[in-house]
Amino acid sequence: MASYNIKINGQTRSVEAGADTPMLWVLRDELDMKGTKFGCGIGQCGACTVHLNGNAVRSCQIPVSAVGENDITTIEGLSEKGDHPLQEAWKQHDVPQCGYCQAGQIMNAAALLNKNSNPSYQEIEDATHGNICRCGTYNKIKAAITTAAEQL
């Protein structure tokens, strides 16, 4: 066990954890931030997507000891009032079914829009291919990202 000071959503948080503990479980169990979801544990599904310095990463693959000074953003910190253009577009298109993958989908899409505020349909598909939605809401996810991009 060691102590780590980690920058999450603009705040420095102190946690005690084993060096190999994935950020996913530090967020969920140590910091009680349940928005980042556990899906597969091997970086295949994208449910645990967070931002590391603005880039979409799989928090199940990042040990707490590797975070260092880098900034982490989670779904809880994407916007102050839950009104990021993607969150608004998700509401507009009534995207979720079960809703479990959606925080990861939104974080993944937010990283895309950070880099490319006007993505083509092809670029949206390429950027979101790594995030599984078991309910199959892909039509609505793509439509919502398109809508959000139009707002930027």
Partner 1 sequence: MTIVKTQVNRRSFLKASALAGGGLMIGFSWACNPMEAERAAPKEWFDMNAFLSIADNGQVTIMSPNPEIGQNVKTSMPMIIAEELDIAWEDVIVKQAPLNSTTFQRQVAGGSQSIRQGWASLRMVGATTRQLMINTAAKEWGVDAAGLTTENGFVMNGRKKLSYGELASKAVGETIPEEVPLKDPKTFKIIGKSKTNVDMDDIVTGKPLFGVDYTADGMVYAAVMRPPAFGTKLKSFDDSEARKVNGVLDVITFDDNERPDQREIRGEKIAVIATNTWAAFKGKKALQAEWERSSRLESTTNHDRELNRLLNVSNSESLKRSDGDIKKAFAQADGTLERTYEAPFLPHNTLEPMNFFANVTEDKVLLAGPTQTPDWTQGRVAGLLKRERSTITCEMTRMGGGFGRRLYGDFALEAAAISDKIRKPVKVQFSREDDMMAGTYRPASKYKFRAAYKDGKITGYHLTGAGIQMGNATRENWFPAGGIENYKVESNNLNSNITTGAWRAPITNFLAIAEQSFFDELSKEMNVDAVQVRLDILERAKSNPVGSIDYEPEKMIGVIKLAAEKGNWSNPEAGVSKGFSCYYSHNTYVAEVADVTTENGQPKITKMTAAVDCGIVINPEAAINQIQGGVVDGIGHAMYGDFAFVDGAPQAANFDKFRLIRTKEAPKVDVHFVESLNDPTGLGEPSLPPAGGALANAIAGATGRRVYKIPFTKQDIAMG
CB nearer partner 1, residue 71 or residue 138 = 138
Region for residue 94 given its phi and psi (left: phi exceeds 0; alpha: psi -120 to 50; beta: otherwise): left
Distance CA 116, CA 124 (A): 10
**Least distance CB 51 / partner 1 (angstroms):** 13
CB nearer partner 1, residue 116 or residue 135 = 135
Residue 130's SS3 state is coil
CB nearer partner 1, residue 7 or residue 35 = 35
| Residues lying near partner 1 in the complex (CB under 8 A) | 1, 18, 20-22, 25, 28-30, 32-42, 44-45, 47, 74-76, 78, 82, 87, 90-91, 93-103, 106, 125-126, 128-142
How far CA 96 is from CA of 32, 58, 99, 100, in Å, comes to 23, 21, 5, 8
The pair of three-digit structure tokens given for residue 88, joined into one six-digit string:
């608004």
Residue-wise DSSP of 17-46: E-TT-BHHHIIIIIS--TTSPPS-SSSSS-
CB nearer partner 1, residue 115 or residue 129 = 129
**Least distance CB 87 / partner 1 (angstroms):** 4
**Least distance CB 48 / partner 1 (angstroms):** 11
**Least distance CB 54 / partner 1 (angstroms):** 18
